[in-house]
Amino acid sequence: MDYSDRDGHIWLDGQLVEWKAATFHVLTHGLHYASSVFEGIRVYDGIAFALEQHQRRLLASAAALRIDIPFTVDELCAATAKLVSELGVANGYVRPVSWRGSGSIEVPGFDAGSHTAIAIWDWPSVFGNEARVAGIRLGTSRWRRPDPATAPTHAKAASNYAIGTLARHEVAERGFDDALLLDWQGRLAEATGANLFLVHNGSLHTPIADCFLAGITRATVMELAEKHKIPVVERRIWPEEINDADEVFLTGTAYEVQPVRAIDDKVFSPGPVTRVLQDAYQAIVRRVEG
């Protein structure tokens, strides 16, 4: 699918624009210096899940990169809801993005200006329905998440995702579905675009999110775990502790709750804790009473 060649509309700087006309100049600052931030939001049964949380995070990420977004959270939420209705997407993916414009091509970008867009499209499971049950395979990458003193790791910034792109390409050549990233000190961090959880003796263990994004789905799953009396522990985790895990899964807006069936040569079976949280997550995003 060529994302530039589709029918429909994109919300761009406050207006609905024909999809194919939503373009920008080649000398846009965001293209040259990665001065852009974005969000990923899922639509379930015509309603965007955690919409306000995501749009608030977009503005927070922009503030971290000193990108001025001239829209409020309410305006961005209203624009998203309008797009969902306009395009008739029942189950899909929303991509809000803000970037510095072409008013300047110097590194600081003081006078570059900014643009904000929201696009939406139909999008099922990332890895397919079979992988939701059987799980995916992770390969450990040589690329690492950086020291938080060297990058805006708390922001959903495009610059942070270059590492994930490189890692994903690296492990794909070895036949893996996604990459496992360590942090700058060699501890477990996350996958290329999803947070990591290990299940050990009925408890959830997840790395402290100080050098990668603490996802909204991550927080949702941790709350669900507590409701189901599953202890949650945030701590430093070393790679060798993978051998003690009973189950492993990833969380993210796109990934939802995604079981992992192997990390390098270590094999896992998606188990009862993962299944409980998968079902609980689907119930909450689809507003199922129970």
pLDDT in tens, 170-225: 999 999 999 999 999 999 999 999 999 999 999 999 999 999 999 999 999 999 99
> Look-up: residue for tokens 């395979």?
137
Spans of all domains in the chain: 9-122, 129-285
Higher pLDDT, 128 or 4: 4
Q: At the top level of CATH, which class does the domain 129-285 belong to?
A: alpha beta
Report the pLDDT value the prediction gives residue 24, as an integer from 0 to 100.
92
Place of tokens 């992770």: 138
What is the 3 state secondary structure string of the chain? CCCCCCCCEEEECCEEEEHHHCCCCCCCHHHHHCCEEECCEEEECCEECCHHHHHHHHHHHHHHCCCCCCCCHHHHHHHHHHHHHHHCCCCEEEEEEEEECCCCCCCCCCCCCEEEEEEEEECCCCCCHHHHHHCEEEEEEEEEECCCCCCCCCCCEHHHHHHHHHHHHHHHCCCCCEEEEEECCCCEEEECCCEEEEEECCEEEEECCCCCCCCHHHHHHHHHHHHCCCCEEEECCCHHHHHHCCEEEEEECCCEEEEEEEECCEECCCCHHHHHHHHHHHHHHCCCCC
Average confidence (pLDDT) over 68-85:
97
Counting beta carbons within 10 angstroms of the beta carbon of residue 171, is it exposed (0 to 12), middle (13 to 18) or buried (19 or more)? Answer: buried
pLDDT in tens, 270-281: 999 999 999 999
> Is residue 151 predicted with pLDDT exceeding 60?
yes
Model confidence at 288: pLDDT above 80:
no
Give the pLDDT band of residue 290 (cuts 50, 70, 90): low
Query: In this structure, is the dihedral angle defined by the CA atoms of residues 199, 200, 202 and 204, taken in order, positive or negative?
Result: negative
Rounded distance between C-alpha atoms, residue 280 and residue 225, angstroms: 9
User: Which of these ranges, 84-93, 97-106, 124-133, 187-196, has the smallest mean pLDDT?
Assistant: 124-133
Percent of the chain with pLDDT over 90: 95
pTM of the model: 0.95
CATH class of the domain defined by 9-122: alpha beta
Tell me what the mean pLDDT of segment 91-114 comes to. Answer: 96
Q: Is there a contact between 34 and 162 (Cβ–Cβ < 8 Å)?
A: yes
- Give the pLDDT band of residue 7 (cuts 50, 70, 90): very high
d(Cα 260, Cα 270) in Å, to the nearest integer? 7
pLDDT tens digits for range 217-269: 999 999 999 999 999 999 999 999 999 999 999 999 999 999 999 999 999 99
pLDDT of residue 287: 87
pLDDT of residue 289: 60
Please list the active-site residues. 156
